Structure 1
């Protein structure tokens, strides 16, 4: 078997436990975009303003971000499998409670509980996949980001299809899928009998990790990056003015593009440039895409095109940023993942209500300009601190070799 074939096999022929966690990750990430198609319906039927509806994102992301700072502490004490199952159980329960809610305040509150489960699951899932996947950390991260992209693509589609019946149906759908994911993790994720128990992580480990200059730099950049990300994702359903199904299909295209460039686009780009250079290239392109979306926001074909193009660009960034975080320091991966992801989600939490408030005051163009400025700030932060990221760029050569082998394997 050629080296390309070996790498290809290591990417796609993974242990069943990896696929179980990847499937659960798809379902977990569905929760982010699931509410996109039903935001207008929730605003209308529960008599909420757009800003109040956007709090469905904010409550979810705030709790997700805050709790991610403690997930490495929790998982090191009760184990990865229990942490994953507890997280999925929280999502199941709170998705069901969202479905039977009678007011927008109740949905906002239960989405916060959903975020708690998401935090326990997401950062633990990344560390689990990296630890169990065949073919090295780069392949594991590509699989994780593919699951993220697929979940973000399928979430709006499911939300749109079920949302045509009632805004409650997508929440019931997630509860059912979570039950399937819980069974899959319970049956397929095995802990070897001779496996060493992980060393307990201190409660403050994630906060201390942010004191690392490289990780701190990337976390701050991620705050602004995620602002741009959630401006496009969370605010766009309102100016689109489509049906739930129309919004669902639009963001299905967005998420599909994100998944494609996460798996194939990022490795291809990294064959030619270093990670920090790639970040400095893609973030300004995201800013341009958002400016075009804002200036031509009332042209539906243009806005849809900008949303899908944005998905392609965010796919590059998600994989490249995650790989950079994992290779930039000697901080244990589970702690680095918790620290970076926690701060990243907190940045995203601020974007939806700010976007809605800006739109109310300055029109539909303003949120996209806000997102574009945030993307440019993230680019400046990474570019100005690129010397701190020399370790991640130093690991670039092995990533290039691995990416080339994957691409050659796909061509065989």
Structure 2
């Protein structure tokens, strides 16, 4: 049942792939970077938690909507220029957010940041998948490794810089993204323009395909639970900025580890469908524990860190499945999938804040757990599509494994011929 028979390492890649992967690390740092400073922002700028949560909402909702335009842009100016444009936008708006003096200003600049994020994320995934050696699965693992490392480092850096000033994390991202921008300009070769120019409607039309729509809706529900934890759990913990940074760094390390090692291991033993069902069920149960024990700080912290295991597994397996089941270009599939899932991630923290204000601190997490359960039900409607995705992934891995074996055999033959000539 394994979908990973290939022995090709996902970390043997061209320099251009590493440049994009590095930029991905910095980009994904932006997700968790602001987590340790959420309570500090609330206090310093006299804002309610639901108002501060709009930092996630504006960022992710704009990212979601802008995903619809990424293919339109990249098919006209090329993938490299799209990456550079996205990184440049992030540099500008993260710096402006750091210079802002009001919660409204920061929320607005985070929206601009989300525009750059959309241009970069959708295009970077397509570039890595298209340029990476070692097959499709290896490319996805590399991409998710970058995501995991970025998520792991983001809270730690955010905690350290945020302890100096809440502005620190925003300026930190601006500097790091500027470095990533230079690396992309220098190391990534200009890409030829596609033969066909994409339409803005292509991602929307792609959602007519049942497999892509099913996986997208499941991801919307899953991201609702994910960003409920990420965007609201810092408040009931009542920790300082440093301590929150350490908690979410532990969480991020688990995201990275299970993205790279846990997901392939689990999928190889259970298959895509059963691995996702089990993982989502455990994730829902963990969020329920957070809701039940919100007042118990130790249990709350442990349960939040443990969610990193389930997030890491889900990110890798789901991304591979989406890119496999979608019968459209991978850049279009990435844009359509990103549009749906980031909508869930963007709305969840704001709704969590409102639920807590109207009820209590437990209710947002009950809602997050329920959303993940709904995601399981949605996924079950596309069970046969997951089996098809697994067959495609196994065939792709087998092809690349055979190609690698042929190359090794040719190298051995060449070495033997050279040795014979020398003697």
Q: Tell me the TM-score range normalised by the shorter chain.
A: over 0.9
* Paired position in structure 2 for 1:374: 371
* Paired position in structure 2 for 1:41: 40
* Paired position in structure 2 for 1:243: 240
* Paired position in structure 2 for 1:361: 358
Q: Aligned in 2, Cα 1:314/1:133: closer, same or farther, shift over 3 Å? A: same
Matches within 5 A, 1:17-96: 17-96=16-95
* Paired position in structure 1 for 2:419: none
TM-score, normalization by structure 1: 0.93
**Aligned-partner Cα distance in 2 for 1:179–1:231:** 30
CA contact (8 A) 1:296 1:303 kept: yes
CA offset at residue 385 of structure 1? 2.1
CA contact (8 A) 1:274 1:396 kept: no
Unaligned runs of at least 5 residues, structure 1: 406-412
* Paired position in structure 1 for 2:112: 113
Corresponding residue SS for 2:269: coil
CA offset at residue 202 of structure 1? 1.6
Deviation readout 1:277-319 (Å, 9 max, x if unpaired): 2111110100100111111112222111111110011100000
Question: Is the aligned partner of 1:217 residue 2:179?
Answer: no
CA contact (8 A) 2:6 2:401 kept: no
CA offset at residue 393 of structure 1? 2.6
* Paired position in structure 1 for 2:380: 383
Q: How many residues align?
A: 399
* Paired position in structure 2 for 1:338: 335
CA contact (8 A) 2:7 2:401 kept: no
Deviation readout 1:110-161 (Å, 9 max, x if unpaired): 0000000000000100000001111011010011111111111111111100
**Aligned-partner Cα distance in 2 for 1:310–1:13:** 30
* Paired position in structure 2 for 1:207: 204
Unaligned runs of at least 5 residues, structure 2: 403-423
Deviates more, 1:268-277 or 1:235-244: 268-277
TM-score, normalization by structure 2: 0.91
* Paired position in structure 2 for 1:97: 96
CA contact (8 A) 1:271 1:404 kept: no
Question: Is the aligned partner of 1:296 residue 2:293?
Answer: yes
Question: Is the aligned partner of 1:147 residue 2:143?
Answer: no
* Paired position in structure 2 for 1:164: 163
CA contact (8 A) 1:329 1:391 kept: no
CA contact (8 A) 2:137 2:397 kept: no
Question: Is the aligned partner of 1:275 residue 2:268?
Answer: no
CA contact (8 A) 1:7 1:402 kept: no
CA offset at residue 75 of structure 1? 0.5
**Aligned-partner Cα distance in 2 for 1:189–1:174:** 21
CA contact (8 A) 2:224 2:347 kept: yes
**Aligned-partner Cα distance in 2 for 1:389–1:5:** 18
CA contact (8 A) 2:135 2:396 kept: no
CA offset at residue 175 of structure 1? 0.6
